[in-house]
């Protein structure tokens, strides 16, 4: 744990060299071989504001830049995390493959599934297995592939593994095309840097659609708890 005074002393005077993403982490590479790593978790957001803009209640980190602007971390639920490190692998080193990278192949996924006796839903949420998948997109991918979230990973056939691989990519690419998923209108919901709502909520097939008819088979979508997470599934066509 770094105290605020030490954090301020270490980061002061550095220049941002590069900004990139790994899974759900934003990485700011700084001069002097330092990296600022941010995980926004459930409700965090980064905002670029003029220094004279009023400070808001839940702005828990404010980074002042030359030129009169500030980067502020706003997080109503305080789940977000920030690291300042000269060893980014200490934070990122245990992450699994990126699901949209060319290196993430159907064969890689099939091999990983074969050795796991865990249920599909919690396994796919495990960031050391596949990086970057969250609750919405796991539910959607499992529906797309026609797989029950409670299935044991090792029980999948080779064809089902290929189908799951394709489904993961399909739902992520759809989400990107639609600028993300914004649910409801609360402050903690996802908005783009330009403060625009994501459009992907209208494309969701099962997530938060319990009680509605499945768009594929017509059965009533159910809500379950799997691995302590709210889970949405069609009992008719997910097997």
Mean pLDDT of 87-111: 97
Residues 222 and 117 in one domain: yes
Q: Which residue has the tokens 């402050």?
A: 187
Residue 97 lies in a domain: no
pLDDT tens by residue, 146-190: 999 999 999 999 999 999 999 999 999 999 898 788 776 655 566
Q: What is the CA radius of gyration of the chain?
A: 20
- In a domain, residue 98? The reply is no
Average per-residue pLDDT in the chain? Answer: 93
C-beta separation of 47 from 71 below 8 A = yes
Q: Last residue of a domain, which of 63, 92, 121? A: 92
Q: Are residues 121 and 228 in the same domain?
A: yes
* 212, part of any domain: yes
- pTM, full prediction: 0.88
Task: Answer yes or no: do 83 and 30 share one domain.
Answer: yes
- Which domain range does residue 224 map to? 106-233
Residue pLDDT, tens place only, 22-65: 999 999 999 999 999 999 988 888 999 999 999 999 999 999 99
* Least confident span in 73-87, 152-166, 188-202: 188-202
Q: Does 115 share its domain with 48?
A: no
3-state secondary structure the chain: CCCHHHHHHHHCCCCEEEEEEECCEEEEEECCCEEEEEECCCCEEEEEEECCCCCCCCEEEEEEECCCEEEEEEECCCCCEEEEECCCHHHHCCCCCCCCCCCCCHHHHHHHHHCCCCEHHHHHHCCCCCCCCCHHHHHHHHHHHCCCCCCEHHHCCHHHHHHHHHHHHHHHHHHHHCCCCCCCCCCCCCECCCCCECCHHHHCCCCCCCCCECCCCCCECEEEEECCEEEEECCCCCC
Number of domains in the chain: 2
């Amino acid at each position: 744990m770094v105290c605020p005074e030490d954090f301020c002393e270490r980061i002061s005077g550095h220049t941002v060299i590069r900004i990139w993403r790994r899974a759900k982490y934003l990485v700011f590479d700084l001069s002097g071989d330092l990296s600022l790593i941010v995980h926004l978790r459930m409700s965090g957001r980064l905002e670029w504001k003029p220094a004279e803009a009023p400070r808001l209640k839940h702005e828990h980190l404010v980074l002042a830049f030359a030129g009169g602007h500030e980067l502020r971390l706003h997080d109503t639920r305080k789940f977000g995390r920030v690291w300042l490190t000269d060893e980014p692998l200490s934070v990122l080193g245990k992450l699994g493959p990126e699901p949209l990278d060319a290196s993430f192949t159907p064969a890689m996924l099939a091999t990983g599934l074969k050795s796991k006796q865990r249920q599909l839903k919690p396994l796919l949420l495990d960031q050391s297995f596949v990086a970057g998948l969250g609750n919405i997109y796991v539910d959607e991918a499992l529906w797309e592939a026609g797989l029950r979230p409670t299935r044991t990973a090792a029980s999948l056939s080779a064809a089902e593994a290929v189908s799951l691989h394709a489904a993961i990519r399909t739902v992520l690419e759809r989400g990107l095309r639609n600028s993300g998923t914004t649910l409801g209108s609360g402050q903690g919901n996802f908005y783009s840097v330009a403060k625009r709502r994501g459009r992907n909520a209208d494309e969701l097939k099962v997530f938060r659609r319990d009680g509605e008819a499945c768009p594929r088979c017509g059965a009533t979508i159910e809500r379950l708890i799997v691995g302590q997470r709210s889970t949405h599934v069609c009992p008719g066509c997910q097997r």
